[in-house]
């Protein structure tokens, strides 16, 4: 599947690279009189590689040193157990998927401890990290056909719930690759819980049952998940006809937008006299850029933040902070003891904590796009009500 990194391959490639780096020096002296290249071999049908001492590759490999590879300080050959551990496959039909269970509420707890700092509240994403949900998967699935024709129109929403064809990829991805700094650290039950939480955040259902806050996910239920976009990819690579479908699909260039010369015969590949591209391209001419209206600025300074003169601090609070600070999730304006405790360390530190966010639940700037000084004036507004 496209999201899966083949660790086995990665290991063996890097081991080979290390070996060749360390050993290429021996190459010259090993066979000084006659050229070691004996034959050539077609590996992928397109490229011929020299075969040296029965091995493909541009480097001579010293068998003895390769056997003692564990002595090389750069690394060693992985053991069979390590291969087995890394080489997990979780397939849509349930192959590789272990038994286990986890609830949405457990998932939320783990998520808040191990994922929220990167993936945002309820998987909303942000700060360059991918969103795991943007809301109701079934509704937002419809946006996949949106074309972003104008800058202000909504483009397709591509997140797990709306876009991924198979839920097994989510299970697999979380188990193998997340949390980002500590991969492979979650138990199977924890992964079920996190998957349940992500399904809940995407407002999904399983077999007609809403994955609500009390839902407990297990293997049998997991295998009944039907992703809204399960038929959204072509060619269909699943099932016994998968390979055939791929061949048929790629045999016809028209299927993947390739330019064709003979419109009457879309399957013919264009090698010469191809049809003219229709899109107009703006070229950069000489040293200057002339085709843009208005012309592109060559000023390198960052734009100065434009402050609105009629900034409404109450509205900014209601729009950006009230969802936590008025609901009990965070200290409310007017909660004198709470704010006295927070401001005891000095207002500079309070501003800083607010601007940068804290480990204890305050997102940077409350997740808002207020400017620094606007944000500070909202902090003042909260704090002043608590004096």
- The site for ligand HEC (CB under 6 A) is made up of 114-115, 117-119, 121, 129-130, 132, 159-160, 170, 173-174, 178-181, 194, 320-321, 323-325, 329-331, 342, 350, 353-354, 358, 360-363, 366-368, 370, 375, 378-379
Nearer to ligand HEC, 259 or 358 (CB): 358
In the bound complex, what is the minimum distance in angstroms from residue 198's beta carbon to ligand HEC? 7
In the bound complex, what is the minimum distance in angstroms from residue 243's beta carbon to ligand HEC? 26
Both tokens of residue 79? 């053991």
Nearer to ligand HEC, 90 or 170 (CB): 170
Q: Determine the Cα–Cα distance for residues 322 and 320; give it in Å rounded to an integer.
A: 6
Both tokens of residue 383? 């704090």
In the bound complex, what is the minimum distance in angstroms from residue 209's beta carbon to ligand HEC? 22
In the bound complex, what is the minimum distance in angstroms from residue 35's beta carbon to ligand HEC? 44
Nearer to ligand HEC, 60 or 134 (CB): 134
Both tokens of residue 367? 């997740």
Nearer to ligand HEC, 129 or 138 (CB): 129
Nearer to ligand HEC, 15 or 141 (CB): 141
Which class for 88: exposed (0-12), middle (13-18), buried (19 or more C-beta within 10 A)?
A: middle
Q: What angle do CA 53, 59, 62 make, to 5 degrees?
A: 60
In the bound complex, what is the minimum distance in angstroms from residue 159's beta carbon to ligand HEC? 6
Q: Which residues are CB-contacts of 88 (< 8 A; sequence separation ≥ 6)?
A: 96, 172, 175, 176
Least Cα distance to 118 among 106, 131, 104 occurs for 131
Cis check: omega of the bond before 173, within 30 degrees of 0: no
In the bound complex, what is the minimum distance in angstroms from residue 326's beta carbon to ligand HEC? 10
Q: Which residues are CB-contacts of 151 (< 8 A; sequence separation ≥ 6)?
A: none
In the bound complex, what is the minimum distance in angstroms from residue 30's beta carbon to ligand HEC? 41
Q: Determine the Cα–Cα distance for residues 219 and 225; give it in Å rounded to an integer.
A: 10
Beta carbons of 339 and 331 less than 8 angstroms apart: yes
Phi and psi based region of residue 84 (left: phi greater than 0; alpha: psi -120 to 50; beta: remaining): alpha
Beta carbons of 66 and 22 less than 8 angstroms apart: no
Q: What angle do CA 43, 47, 52 make, to 5 degrees?
A: 65
Q: Which residues are CB-contacts of 312 (< 8 A; sequence separation ≥ 6)?
A: none
Least Cα distance to 75 among 24, 27, 11, 25 occurs for 11
Closest-CB residue for ligand HEC?
366
Nearer to ligand HEC, 130 or 155 (CB): 130
Cis check: omega of the bond before 294, within 30 degrees of 0: yes
In the bound complex, what is the minimum distance in angstroms from residue 287's beta carbon to ligand HEC? 37
In the bound complex, what is the minimum distance in angstroms from residue 213's beta carbon to ligand HEC? 17
């Amino acid at each position: 599947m496209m999201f899966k990194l083949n660790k086995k391959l990665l290991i063996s490639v890097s081991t080979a690279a290390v070996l060749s780096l360390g050993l290429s020096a021996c190459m010259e002296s090993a066979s000084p009189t006659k050229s070691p290249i004996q034959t050539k071999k077609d590996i992928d049908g397109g490229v011929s590689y020299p075969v040296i001492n029965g091995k493909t590759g541009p480097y001579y490999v010293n068998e003895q040193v390769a056997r003692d590879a564990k002595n090389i300080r750069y690394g060693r050959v992985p053991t069979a157990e390590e291969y087995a551990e890394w080489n997990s496959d979780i397939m849509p039909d349930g192959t590789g998927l272990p038994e286990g269970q986890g609830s949405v509420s457990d998932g939320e707890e783990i998520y808040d401890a191990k994922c929220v700092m990167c993936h945002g509240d309820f998987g909303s994403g942000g700060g360059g990290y991918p969103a795991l949900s943007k809301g109701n998967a079934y509704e937002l699935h419809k946006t996949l056909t949106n074309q972003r024709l104008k800058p202000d129109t909504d483009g397709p929403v591509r997140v797990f719930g709306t876009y991924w064809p198979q839920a097994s990829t989510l299970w697999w991805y979380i188990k193998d690759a997340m949390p980002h700094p500590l991969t492979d650290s979650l138990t199977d039950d924890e992964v079920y819980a996190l998957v349940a939480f992500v399904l809940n955040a995407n407002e999904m259902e399983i077999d007609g049952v809403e994955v609500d806050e009390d839902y407990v996910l297990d293997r049998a239920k997991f295998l009944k998940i039907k992703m809204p976009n399960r038929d959204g990819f072509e060619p269909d690579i699943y099932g016994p006809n998968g390979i055939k479908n791929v061949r048929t699909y790629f045999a016809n260039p028209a299927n993947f937008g390739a330019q064709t010369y003979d419109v009457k015969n879309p399957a013919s590949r264009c090698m010469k006299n191809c049809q003219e591209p229709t899109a107009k391209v703006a070229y950069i001419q000489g040293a200057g850029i002339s085709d843009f209206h208005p012309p592109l600025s060559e000023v390198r300074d960052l734009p100065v933040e434009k402050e609105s003169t009629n900034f409404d601090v109450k509205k900014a609070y209601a729009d950006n902070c009230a969802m936590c600070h008025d609901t009990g999730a965070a200290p409310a304006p007017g909660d004198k003891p709470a704010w006295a405790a927070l401001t005891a360390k000095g207002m500079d530190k309070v501003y800083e904590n607010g601007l940068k966010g804290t480990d204890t639940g305050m997102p940077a700037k409350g997740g808002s796009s207020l400017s620094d000084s606007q944000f500070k004036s909202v902090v003042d507004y909260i704090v002043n009500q608590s004096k």
